[in-house]
Amino acid sequence: MTTGSNHPDSLGPARRRGPLRPGDKVQVTDPKGRLHTITLVPGGRFQTNRGTLDHDLVLGKPDGQVVEVEDGRTFQVLRPLLSDYTLSMPRGAAIIYPKDAAQIVAMADIFPGARVLESGVGSGALSASLLSAIGPTGYLHSVEVREEFAAIAAANVDLWFGGRHPAWEIEVADVGDALGEAEPHFYDRVLLDLLNPWDFVDGAARVLEPGGVFLSYVATVPQMSRVVEALRKSGEFSEPHSWESMVRSWHVEGLSVRPDHRMIGHTGFLVVARRLAPAATSHVLSSRPAPAAEGKGGEWDEVTRWDDESLGLRTPNAKKLRRLRRDVEARANVWLENEEADNG
């Protein structure tokens, strides 16, 4: 895992002010509107069947260049936003998409200086968003049970920030152990992207500050139902709120204004609840769900195997994970070596 400068000005190479420099990642929009992510190098050339862009035409110039090439076609060059980087980062596990990361940051109220525990880490997409929100004065403890995923996530996040973020600790461990070792009421927020988050509701209640936020991200209806019922039965949380978000872009050109044919539909469900005061009695709603809705004796209670395969999720190939880990760690280390050389 890589390390680097912890000075706030060094955090976020994709958002650094100033001219474009060798080693910067940029997003190139070609003449047909297609997006490409490249790394600028002196003497480099970006070639497509729509034309060729010489890197030297933009190196040393301000961000946001529109370059005309020999045949009159143009290329737009911009440093990527975090959302752009997230969608193009190497993935060991499925990422939390920007639309969900934005909902998590807002609805879990991730604030500067917050103390946050997250598990699992996946490929580091949510970690980068959380670190941007809490800033250098906060604390993010990321727990990942799979060593390969943790290494890929660490390299992806280090590459985005230009080194290890001063507020970040990433640990290869079981989240149950991490919750058990934490001090009571230490965390402001607990965020779980796990197959079985209901198993850790009691542990989350122990480590959360009164008023703190528990958030779970799950892929399927059975998972959502089970975590909601676990939160209700614990007696330690407010009534859970569950939802999903869908994003539909629009085509706007002259009088042709209509929804695009494609949209980002279901990616996952979010479940949020607030930690009650230790001595508080659960707030009883005037209308309680019917007994049949509480999962007593239902088929979901009989499920004994909660894994990627049983839920219809993609199972990463071990060989591919090892190769991906080597590649993304090498990228991060090369970037940092270039930074050290530039800084003398």
Specify the pTM: 0.80
Please answer whether residues 250 and 260 qualify as being in contact, where contact means their C-beta atoms are separated by less than 8 angstroms. yes
Residue 340 clears pLDDT 60, i.e. is over it = yes
Confidence of residue 229 (pLDDT cuts 50, 70, 90): very high
Alpha-carbon gap, residue 111 to 118, rounded angstroms = 15
Report the distance separating Cα 147 and Cα 124, nearest Å.
Answer: 13
pLDDT value for 103: 97
Answer whether residue 284 shows pLDDT above 70: no
End-to-end CA distance of the chain: 23
Q: Which two tokens stand for residue 143?
A: 């727990």
More confident residue, 95 or 44: 44
**Other Cβ atoms closer than 10 A to 25:** 19
Among the four given CATH numbers 1.10.260.40, 3.40.1010.10, 3.40.50.150, 3.30.70.1450, the one describing domain 84-302: 3.40.50.150
pLDDT value at position 128? 96
Give the pair of three-digit tokens for residue 326: 């080597």
Whole-angstrom distance, CA of residue 344 vs CA of residue 340: 6
pLDDT for position 333? 75
Q: State residue 60's pLDDT score.
A: 95
Q: What is the mean pLDDT of residues 247-276?
A: 94
Whether the Cβ atoms of residue 343 and residue 23 lie closer than 8 Å to each other = no
Nearest to 169 by CA among 275, 177, 178: 178
Examine the pLDDT at 306 and tell me if it is beyond 60. yes
Instruction: Give the three-class secondary structure for 36.
Output: strand
Element holding 231 (H helix, E strand): helix 221-234
pLDDT the model gives residue 342: 67
Give the pLDDT band of residue 301 (cuts 50, 70, 90): low
**pLDDT tens profile 13-64:** 545 778 999 988 899 998 888 888 888 999 999 988 778 899 999 999 999 9
DSSP states of 84-117: HHHHHS--SSPPPPHHHHHHHHHHTT--TT-EEE
CATH topology of domain 17-78: Vcp-like ATPase; Chain A, domain 2 (3.10.330)
Cβ atoms of residues 258 and 250 within 8 Å: yes
* Domain locations in the chain as residue ranges: 17-78, 84-302
State both tokens at 156. Answer: 């992806």
Whole-number pLDDT of residue 268: 94
